[in-house]
Structure 1
Amino acid sequence: MTIAVDVSLVRGAFALDVAFTAPAGLTALFGRSGSGKTTVIDLIAGLARPDRGRIALDGELLLDTASGRDLPTHRRRIGTVFQQARLLPHLTVRQNLGYGRWFARHRPDAAGLGFDDVVGLLGIDHLLDRRPAGLSGGEGQRVAIGRALLSRPRLLLMDEPLAALDAARKAEILPLIERLRDGAGIPIVYVSHAVSEVARLAGTIVVLEAGRVTAAGPAEAILRRGDLGAYHAAEAGALLEMVVEADEPVSGLTRLAGVAGRLVVPNLARAVGTAVRIRVPARDVIVSLGHPVGLSARNVLSGRVLSISPTGESAALVEIDCNGAVLSARLTRASVTTLALAPGHPVFAIVKSVAFDPEGVGTGWASGVMEI
């Protein structure tokens, strides 16, 4: 199921003009605050109307200003999860979930998860008799996600659902979103300005800047780019798909293998053969012309320079092809000149083993991210 969006509006000094197609899976609307991400979500949900545009879900027009079609929000079959849980304070968790089931009753032919399935998936069975005032932020968001799922949506919109949570609560919710993405069979459009969230969750990324789409495509291609403005250039990095090859108990390290080569990272407590996705920020990659000797860094990957792109007055992003996997390195232009780097030049990419967050690792392709 895909959603196609082509809309524009002007609200005071803010102008939005975006067009993109979101395929099945999780699509992230990514950009800094004020770029228009939430406005796009509101337009898809039917909570706002553009001056001009079309929105189609799996070929069905939800909105077409040219013909006057504007399907009401309750008929769009879209579930929405906001930054705040927005639960009804006078109802218990069970009754709040029932609010979502009420919408599903008006959709007898709609497929979706049942009450027990959702409660089990989100781990909220022990919360059913509580009221919202007795829930933590993370528990409230679980219930809000459950309410959205029980409405049997054909699309789930998530507008920065982790923004109001602390690190511990985010760590609870991220695996749930992964499970929804991989097992619920519902496409998700996810709003965020946090690179770590987007890298961990997204299969597709749409980058917004000042109400415009500046880039869109597969996550691994978008996140390593450095030509999307200073904000995005600073966060550029590569995504690598790796497999746990072995643990080194004596050293407390885990060895990973992938197309790019082998990497050594702090112990992941993952079974051999487990697939993980790693994000390697471009700012943490060092480039050498020869194989390094006498360094503490244990990760050295060989490759060839693929491209060199300026990312400001003094910096450049160097893409390195490591046996088909592409790494990015953020260097000064002076370093590029000193090393005489050019496309096709053989180099070695060096990354420290300890420069990452092991708590960010999940399992399964595209289901977890660690930064090294």
Structure 2
Amino acid sequence: MPTNKIVGENTEQGLHAKFHLQHPTSRFALNVDLTLPDNGVTAIFGQSGSGKTTLLRCIAGLEKAQQGHFVMKGETWQSDSFFLATHKRPLGYVFQEPSLFPHLTAKGNLDYAIKRSGIPLPADLYDQVIDLMGIESILKNNSQQLSGGEKQRVAIARALLIQPKLLLMDEPLASLDNARKQEILPYLEKLKSTLNTPILYVSHSVEEVMRLADHVVLMEDGEVATQGQVEEVFSQLTSPLLFNNNTGVIWQGQIVEQDEKWHLSKVSCAGSDLWIRNNGDSIGQQVRVRILATDVSLTLTRHEDSSILNRLSVTVLDIVADKDPAMALVRLQTEKNTLIARLTYLSVDHLALVAGKVLWAQIKSVALVR
């Protein structure tokens, strides 16, 4: 597989979406004004009913907002006086259900999409997409014979082969069981690193967002609660959506050392070194790690007589209440990263924690996200 980007050309920067949509049959209203990156994966994240899918449908033109404005890399798709029909918008859309034609083979579904697009296919693009999604061995299979994960991979390939300028993915893993999700996630990670087309990815799964997203838009009640780089959004303590057992932070790092005897790898994350289980990654590889707040404990002094390998000097930034009245979330600053610890208020009182206090964080577990 070539390392060059395979689909899409970046000619102008920025995606701007501004929509006001009031559904006539419900009290729900969408009110958003967003400027988004024109590369990488932007996750539209939030609980059911927060407006994630409605936003995606407005961008696709499947919902016509009473007031709408959308510009894609300098190209207007919707304004007060103009509305580009959905079928004329250069986008690919992957739904929860693959919606393949049941009477066609996997290859037949792909060929039909290419024919319908009317866009000449570059010489090597077909083979690149097939290789990217790992579907060469199932091309001749009837779509009804495919597993759920295989169907979704074919659906993604179909969306790529129409050569979209924007790829919309509406909870593409929601209908799959956990085994099928774990099967397809590596393909989505590969897609992200290979595609030169911005992806808007709707999800309410913290795991998917942490693994795939570069930028996150957090939706609540039809509005944008916050947005930013994935590391920034998940280190904030202002949204109730982040207050649960998944509360934690994401750090970007690089494998700098391997201990073959103990099967461990050292990850350097902006000055903070962490030992993680060796997952076969090579030295120099860029990785993303996830640290849950429940896996962080605090001590006033550095403990060498502990089974916990990862110990960092930290400074308390602030303390906020958790949903559980017995618990608090403590935001901490390492040298260059933010960390969150979930502690009982009894522990907060016992350690006399206040903003500015310097102490030690012990990280019990570090998960390699990618």
Q: TM (normalized to structure 2)?
A: 0.89
Among 140, 152, 170, the alignment partner of 1:141 is 152
Query: In 2, distance between residues paired with 1:148 and 1:90?
Result: 19
For 1:224-263, list aligned pairs within 5 A. 224-229=235-240, 231-234=241-244, 235-263=246-274
In the superposition, relative to structure 1, how do residues 3 and 140 fare at CA in structure 2: closer, same or farther (>3 Å)? same
Quote the residue 1:53 is aligned against: 68
SS in 2 for 1:32: coil
Quote the residue 2:103 is aligned against: 90
Query: In 2, distance between residues paired with 1:5 and 1:48?
Result: 13
Deviation at 1:311, TM superposition (A): 3.7
SS in 2 for 1:179: helix
SS in 1 for 2:183: helix
Q: Say which is worse superposed, 45-54 or 181-190, in terms of deviation.
A: 45-54
CA contact (8 A) 1:239 1:279 kept: yes
* Residue 333, structure 1, aligned to residue 348, structure 2: no
SS in 1 for 2:265: strand
Quote the residue 2:35 is aligned against: 21
Query: In 2, distance between residues paired with 1:19 and 1:340?
Result: 42
Deviation at 1:111, TM superposition (A): 7.8
SS in 1 for 2:355: coil
SS in 2 for 1:70: coil
1:341 alignment partner AA: L
Deviation at 1:266, TM superposition (A): 2.1
CA contact (8 A) 1:243 1:275 kept: yes
Cα shift readout 1:132-170 (whole Å, capped 9, x = no counterpart): 111011110110001100111000000111111222322
* Residue 299, structure 1, aligned to residue 314, structure 2: no
Quote the residue 1:365 is aligned against: none
Query: In 2, distance between residues paired with 1:317 and 1:4?
Result: 34
1:160 alignment partner AA: E
In the superposition, relative to structure 1, how do residues 258 and 226 fare at CA in structure 2: closer, same or farther (>3 Å)? same
Query: In 2, distance between residues paired with 1:2 and 1:104?
Result: 25
Deviation at 1:228, TM superposition (A): 0.3
Query: In 2, distance between residues paired with 1:115 and 1:211?
Result: 38
For 1:290-369, list aligned pairs within 5 A. 290-312=301-323, 313-353=325-365, 356=367, 361=369, 368=370
Query: In 2, distance between residues paired with 1:180 and 1:251?
Result: 33
Query: In 1, distance between residues paired with 2:216 and 2:112?
Result: 32
Query: In 1, distance between residues paired with 2:123 and 2:53?
Result: 26
Query: In 2, distance between residues paired with 1:4 and 1:112?
Result: 33
Query: In 2, distance between residues paired with 1:2 and 1:92?
Result: 38
Q: Say which is worse superposed, 237-246 or 24-33, in terms of deviation.
A: 237-246
SS in 2 for 1:79: strand
CA contact (8 A) 1:224 1:282 kept: no
Deviation at 1:79, TM superposition (A): 0.2
Query: In 2, distance between residues paired with 1:310 and 1:212?
Result: 24
For 1:193-272, list aligned pairs within 5 A. 193-229=204-240, 231-234=241-244, 235-272=246-283
Query: In 1, distance between residues paired with 2:150 and 2:311?
Result: 42
CA contact (8 A) 1:20 1:216 kept: no
Q: In percent, how many aligned pairs have the same letter?
A: 40
Query: In 2, distance between residues paired with 1:296 and 1:223?
Result: 28
Query: In 1, distance between residues paired with 2:48 and 2:15?
Result: 23
Deviation at 1:323, TM superposition (A): 0.9
For 1:57-76, list aligned pairs within 5 A. 57-64=72-79, 66-67=80-81, 69-76=82-89
Deviation at 1:113, TM superposition (A): 7.0
Q: Say which is worse superposed, 210-219 or 51-60, in terms of deviation.
A: 51-60
Total equivalences in the alignment: 353
CA contact (8 A) 1:100 1:150 kept: yes
For 1:114-153, list aligned pairs within 5 A. 114-153=125-164
CA contact (8 A) 1:112 1:153 kept: no
Quote the residue 1:176 is aligned against: 187
Among 273, 290, 293, the alignment partner of 1:279 is 290
Deviation at 1:273, TM superposition (A): 1.9
Query: In 1, distance between residues paired with 2:342 and 2:123?
Result: 45
Cα shift readout 1:240-261 (whole Å, capped 9, x = no counterpart): 1222233333333322223242
Quote the residue 1:41 is aligned against: 56
2:34 alignment partner AA: F
Query: In 1, distance between residues paired with 2:117 and 2:29?
Result: 36
Deviation at 1:205, TM superposition (A): 0.3
Cα shift readout 1:343-368 (whole Å, capped 9, x = no counterpart): 32211111114x64x6xx4xxxxxx2
Computed over aligned residues only, the root mean square deviation of the Cα atoms, in angstroms, reads 2.0
Query: In 1, distance between residues paired with 2:103 and 2:320?
Result: 56
Query: In 2, distance between residues paired with 1:245 and 1:336?
Result: 35
Unaligned stretches of 5+ residues in structure 1 = 362-367
Q: TM (normalized to structure 1)?
A: 0.89
Query: In 2, distance between residues paired with 1:252 and 1:222?
Result: 32
In the superposition, relative to structure 1, how do residues 335 and 113 fare at CA in structure 2: closer, same or farther (>3 Å)? farther
Q: Say which is worse superposed, 46-55 or 313-322, in terms of deviation.
A: 313-322
Query: In 2, distance between residues paired with 1:112 and 1:273?
Result: 34
